[in-house]
Structure 1
Amino acid sequence: MSISKTTDLLGQLSQLERSVGEFSFEELSADEAKALKKSFNTFKSSLESKIYSPSQNNTISEKAESVVVDKQEVSQKQFMTHVSHEIRTPLNSIIGYANLLKEEELTSNQHRKVEAIQFASNTLLKLINEVLDYSKISSGNTSFESIDFKLHGLLNDVMFLCETLLVDSQVDLIIDIDENVPKIIKGDPSKLSQVLLNLVGNSIKFVNHGFIKLGVFVKELNENDYVLEFSIIDTGIGISKEKINSIFERYSQAEKDTYIKYGGTGLGLSITKEIIEKQNGEINISSVVGKGTTVSFTLPFSKGDLNSLPIEQEKNLDVEEAKKLLKGAEIMVFEDNLMNQHLILEQLTKWGCNVHTNVTLEKGLTILAAKNIDLILMDLKMPNLNGFEVSKAIRSNENAFIRNTPIVAFSADFTEQDGKDCESIGINDFLLKPYTLNDLMSIILKNKRKNKLTEEFGPILQKQMIEPKETTVVDLNSLLDDCFGELEMLNELIKLFKTNVLEFIGNVTIHIKTDNLVEIAFSAHKLKASFAMLKANGMRNLIVELEANCKANEPSKVKELYELFLNDYPLLENNLNIDLERLNKQ
């Protein structure tokens, strides 16, 4: 990375420091100003320590260049770890406190200053993410998905997002999809979105009038495999012949003043090229100064399967309804950073949660034994005992209620190995710092223990059956074989199964009142595998039919099938208990 790019990052830091200073001096109390400045100074020190060399004999410019450019001194892996954790952690505090301040009753002047802090913070986060993204891709640490997805929907979503970036009505966004382009394909939708957003977003920066056109057509077709060609054509300022050959090089930008005017690291196009080529694609660019630029790239995909599409959940979160669901929730937080402890305590308390912070493993286990904790938020990178070790201790506790407490890991960096470790330990989910308040709210609602389900919906399951049906038949013999004949494992699976059924009933009872068939279908999709595990094929078929009618938008049929489920499940569970008791006595 050149000195100019380091200067760009330091300039962003100085701008943010001025905004923080003005805001804290004019608008905050002494304690609030002290807390905000402390978190900022921690962030500033971390960032500067990564830019400047530890050597005391070099000038500042020599230090900046030696650290950023010299890969022999700092490996990519070390760079990723330090930047990700040591910079993102204090940045999480800055963004978090800004989010909290924005919820206060502010004057219009105060509101503008909070938005300035948020803008500068998010700009820094974007710069850091770009560097991390490039480091991962170039070192081979990024992975690519291969899933079925709706191509046309993705393209429309990308163009909709890009429309929000346009500030000039003289520029038209056009999308042209050839009729032969398949609607469902198999590949990596997130990486395709990233490439398109980078390229179309780049065009938006340099087009003052005219149009930007995204075109898609089939370049090659071989049985079930496609090669699609994408083109982004714009009427922008263009790129000179001298610069076009180096435009995809890292830290390269077309003109010297580009980074001053538009910011950025100069890594966007380099990342784009890496993503395309690592998927066996190609990218090309042609341009005429003053007339415009055309970027085209090809990517291979496979034919998609409609039946394999993941169920889409609603993206909008009803914040007020979510706060009602969170009120009274018992949340335990393992976090070593005092600033972040205070931040998350304030965030969760505002939502009516009872929060336990500043806990050690010993203190945490004592609280878990005394209270019905709904969720544990676990920082993975704590000193002494880290989050993995604390989670292992909880998951191995002899008290079943304690060891089954939901755990959500949260950290400023998260590697592929971290994901594997979390899965092996039994950590339920993960939240990356810095996060938004909606991210935090959503992940808690998704994972917290459903303590009230049995109390509220248990009576529904006590209905007496009129007559046995195919939907009440179970067979635990094959499941016992899958458990290697271990009855303890079988009993744990049955407990988990019953919990899943209660969650299903709770979710459907809530969403059936508003005909929210998307959520009902999602709940049914999760549950059908459980009935297959028990060889309860009759009930599984009923759930499959319920899910299908949700997708077909048949609310009356869904309600009818749900009534059948409520009518038949109690006897199925009774048969399940009888079969389980028989096996336990053998």
Structure 2
Amino acid sequence: MPISKTKDLLGQLSQLERTVSEFSFEELSADEAKVLKDSFNTFRSSLEKHIYESKEANSIPQKKESVAVNGQDISQKKFIAHISHEIRTPLNSIIGYANLLNDERLTQGQHKKVDAIKFASNTLLKLINEVLEYSKISSGNTNFETVDFNLHSLLKDVMFLCETLVLDRKIELLIDIDENVPKIVKGDPSKLSQVLLNLLGNSVKFVENGFIKLEVFSKESSDNDCMLQFSVADTGIGISSEKVNTIFDQYTQAENDTSSKYGGTGLGLTITKEIIEKLNGEIEIESVLDKGTTVTFRLPYPYGSTSGVVNKSVNENYKLKDGKLLAGTEIMVFEDNQMNQLLIVEQLTKWGCRVHTNFTLDKGLEILAANNIDLILMDLKMPNLNGFEVSKVIRGNDNSNINSIPIVAFSADFTERDSKECKEIGINDFLLKPYTLEDLMTAIVKNKRKKVEPLEFASILQKPMIEPKETTVVDLTSLLKDCFGEIDMLNELVKLFKLNAIEFIGNVKVHLQTEDLNQIALSAHKLKAGFAMIKADGMRSLIVELEVSCKSNKPNKVRELYQAFLNDYPLLEENLTDALKSLNKK
């Protein structure tokens, strides 16, 4: 690991240690502080051990038979893969306990300190993830899938995510998809999303004002496939001519102060280039310092079939807001790390689960035979009998009630080989540590044996099927918090929003007659912040699309979206009034 990255990592570690110590001393009981500090010390010791082992290994002259791949020694790649599990496991405890603390009744000052712990932990996690991902991609250990997917929907989703990053900033987000670009193609949608988000995210980071534009068109085509060209152009800080040629090299950033000012590991573009080349594509960059940057890449895609596009199950899309969804669920946990064991038991117990843990394999089989277990959570990398071996024993049991219990594996490291072995054994799903509470809850609800929920929660699962139109949904709870609980202030803000909506309707009606799309775009841009304020995400998405259509000079599309707005806004306003009345009564 380069010296600059080592210093960065150790600096982040020291900052996190100070925050943890201060929080533990001032806000926690002795027992709580001990749990948190023990978890952090385990994490720190593991990280420092591997950093200094790496330094020693690099200082020893290497034998001639040491093989280099793409300029990186194989032993270094093995080292990176190995520390992933060692570092992520204790980091999982730190993040997990911080999440649990955040759910407690803390003072505002305590919440700030927990947030500081979470921020520092997630910064470390991001750094570790990027280094690990680069190692996996460059050594050929990343799995690339080939499925039919809707390219236009993917591009729309990516741009919507970027819209959330530039809210209230003077940046125009533009997209132009040529009419010859096919809607359905065959390839890896997650990798394309990752590439686009890396590039657009860079632009968002480095653009203070101006625009960011994504263009997509078909470069070449045949009966079976096409070559698509994507370009991301921005008016950002740009890159000096001497730096452009090395910008894709690992750990490289445009200028010496870029990391300290904007953050990051310097691996984003390296990972992007690796992915594109693995997909048989090519990438290039043009930039002028203080003027802007354009990154262009080309990828070949076979044409796909609409019938092959997988639609998400309705039940997988519901929002898991209530932990009581899992009340009564009986779960067995195979986890050897005591910190993580305590953490997951506390998480599951808070959700009303009955948890079995801390047992031998033989004792575990007895528990499985004597109880109606709904799900098994299995740590794959236990030191003695690992999770793969335990899962094989369970799947090979003669008792059909035991061998059919759903198993969700979790680990701090997961390779393509692990994925294949999980499928062969019959493991149902997988969680990568550190996972969020929502990830854990989603995996349990999705896989657990008892699919019928208690009657009082059945409506939560059914809600997406009878949910009102997405463009009419609002939520004022966050806005009320922003108003410090002052209902009068909330009433004034909602009143102001309604006036802005009326003004928008009038402006669009006038400017549509002359097709002055620039004025309509300005009105839409002003109103979308209001929809974000009242958490009307569906209608905000429609307004964003209307604004983009104006900037792409598509008057017919603008008329279509405006009519949709006129159809749905009255019901949204009615829901807004009802929500306000409900809060006024409290």
* TM-score between the two structures when normalised by the length of structure 2: 0.74
Which secondary structure does the structure 2 equivalent of 1:319 belong to?
coil
Q: Is the 8 A contact 1:410 1:433 kept in 2?
A: yes
Which secondary structure does the structure 2 equivalent of 1:385 belong to?
coil
Identify the residue that residue 164 of structure 2 maps to in structure 1.
Answer: 164
Identify the residue that residue 78 of structure 2 maps to in structure 1.
Answer: 77
Work out the percentage of aligned pairs sharing the same amino acid: 68
Which secondary structure does the structure 1 equivalent of 2:377 belong to?
strand
Identify the residue that residue 195 of structure 1 maps to in structure 2.
Answer: 195
Q: Is the 8 A contact 2:142 2:415 kept in 1?
A: no
After TM superposition, the structure 1 = structure 2 runs for residues 261-276 of structure 1, keeping only pairs within 5 Å, are 261-276=261-276
Q: Is the 8 A contact 1:334 1:360 kept in 2?
A: no
Task: Give, in angstroms, the shift of residue 109 of structure 1.
Answer: 1.3
Identify the residue that residue 294 of structure 1 maps to in structure 2.
Answer: 294
Largest Rg, 1 or 2 = 1
Task: Give, in angstroms, the shift of residue 149 of structure 1.
Answer: 0.9
After superposition, give the CA deviation of every residue in 1:277-321 in whole Å (9 maximum; x if it has no partner): 111111111111111111111111111211111012356544355
Identify the residue that residue 142 of structure 2 maps to in structure 1.
Answer: 142
Identify the residue that residue 101 of structure 1 maps to in structure 2.
Answer: 101
Identify the residue that residue 114 of structure 1 maps to in structure 2.
Answer: 114
For 1:360 and 1:352, the matched residues in 2 are separated by: 24
After TM superposition, the structure 1 = structure 2 runs for residues 340-489 of structure 1, keeping only pairs within 5 Å, are 340-450=340-450
Task: Give, in angstroms, the shift of residue 123 of structure 1.
Answer: 1.2
1:313 to 2:309 alignment: no
Which secondary structure does the structure 1 equivalent of 2:126 belong to?
helix
For 2:364 and 2:398, the matched residues in 1 are separated by: 15
For 2:278 and 2:71, the matched residues in 1 are separated by: 25
Task: Give, in angstroms, the shift of residue 325 of structure 1.
Answer: 3.6
Q: Is the 8 A contact 1:8 1:260 kept in 2?
A: no
For 2:91 and 2:5, the matched residues in 1 are separated by: 20
Task: Give, in angstroms, the shift of residue 373 of structure 1.
Answer: 0.9
Q: Is the 8 A contact 1:333 1:359 kept in 2?
A: no
Q: 1:432 to 1:243 in 2, by over 3 A?
A: same
Identify the residue that residue 231 of structure 2 maps to in structure 1.
Answer: 231
For 1:52 and 1:306, the matched residues in 2 are separated by: 53
For 2:419 and 2:162, the matched residues in 1 are separated by: 32
Q: Is the 8 A contact 1:238 1:292 kept in 2?
A: yes
For 2:12 and 2:286, the matched residues in 1 are separated by: 32
1:12 to 2:35 alignment: no
Which secondary structure does the structure 2 equivalent of 1:93 belong to?
helix
Identify the residue that residue 327 of structure 1 maps to in structure 2.
Answer: 327
For 1:355 and 1:51, the matched residues in 2 are separated by: 37
Aligned residue identity for 1:40? F
Task: Give, in angstroms, the shift of residue 74 of structure 1.
Answer: 3.1
Q: 1:369 to 1:276 in 2, by over 3 A?
A: same
Q: Is the 8 A contact 2:95 2:121 kept in 1?
A: yes
Which secondary structure does the structure 2 equivalent of 1:52 belong to?
helix
Aligned residue identity for 1:79? I
For 1:317 and 1:47, the matched residues in 2 are separated by: 38
Aligned residue identity for 1:265? T
Task: Give, in angstroms, the shift of residue 513 of structure 1.
Answer: 9.9
Q: Is the 8 A contact 2:227 2:299 kept in 1?
A: yes
For 2:306 and 2:240, the matched residues in 1 are separated by: 45
Q: 1:516 to 1:423 in 2, by over 3 A?
A: farther
Q: Is the 8 A contact 1:317 1:438 kept in 2?
A: no
Task: Give, in angstroms, the shift of residue 196 of structure 1.
Answer: 0.6
Which secondary structure does the structure 1 equivalent of 2:75 belong to?
coil
Count of equivalent residues: 457
Aligned residue identity for 2:411? S
After superposition, give the CA deviation of every residue in 1:391-421 in whole Å (9 maximum; x if it has no partner): 1111122211112111111111111111121
Which secondary structure does the structure 2 equivalent of 1:164 belong to?
helix
Identify the residue that residue 571 of structure 1 maps to in structure 2.
Answer: none
1:31 to 2:31 alignment: yes
Task: Give, in angstroms, the shift of residue 334 of structure 1.
Answer: 0.6
Q: Is the 8 A contact 2:378 2:409 kept in 1?
A: yes
Which secondary structure does the structure 2 equivalent of 1:181 belong to?
coil
Identify the residue that residue 153 of structure 1 maps to in structure 2.
Answer: 153
The more displaced of 49-58 and 347-356 is 49-58
Task: Give, in angstroms, the shift of residue 450 of structure 1.
Answer: 2.0
**Which sections of structure 1, spanning at least 5 residues, go unmatched?**
60-68, 457-505, 518-586
Q: 1:29 to 1:514 in 2, by over 3 A?
A: same
Task: Give, in angstroms, the shift of residue 446 of structure 1.
Answer: 1.1
Q: 1:509 to 1:112 in 2, by over 3 A?
A: closer
Identify the residue that residue 282 of structure 2 maps to in structure 1.
Answer: 282
Which secondary structure does the structure 2 equivalent of 1:293 belong to?
strand
Q: 1:312 to 1:391 in 2, by over 3 A?
A: same
Task: Give, in angstroms, the shift of residue 256 of structure 1.
Answer: 0.7
Which secondary structure does the structure 1 equivalent of 2:165 belong to?
coil
Q: Is the 8 A contact 1:175 1:213 kept in 2?
A: yes
Identify the residue that residue 543 of structure 2 maps to in structure 1.
Answer: none
Aligned residue identity for 1:103? D
Q: 1:23 to 1:507 in 2, by over 3 A?
A: closer
Q: 1:510 to 1:438 in 2, by over 3 A?
A: closer
Which secondary structure does the structure 2 equivalent of 1:382 belong to?
coil
After superposition, give the CA deviation of every residue in 1:168-188 in whole Å (9 maximum; x if it has no partner): 621111111112211211111
Q: Is the 8 A contact 1:8 1:259 kept in 2?
A: no
After superposition, give the CA deviation of every residue in 1:60-112 in whole Å (9 maximum; x if it has no partner): xxxxxxxxx995583413421x2221000001001111111111112111112
Say what the alpha-carbon RMSD is for the aligned residues: 2.7
Task: Give, in angstroms, the shift of residue 54 of structure 1.
Answer: 7.3
Identify the residue that residue 546 of structure 2 maps to in structure 1.
Answer: none
Q: Is the 8 A contact 1:220 1:227 kept in 2?
A: yes
Which secondary structure does the structure 2 equivalent of 1:226 belong to?
strand
Q: 1:318 to 1:202 in 2, by over 3 A?
A: closer
Q: 1:337 to 1:110 in 2, by over 3 A?
A: same
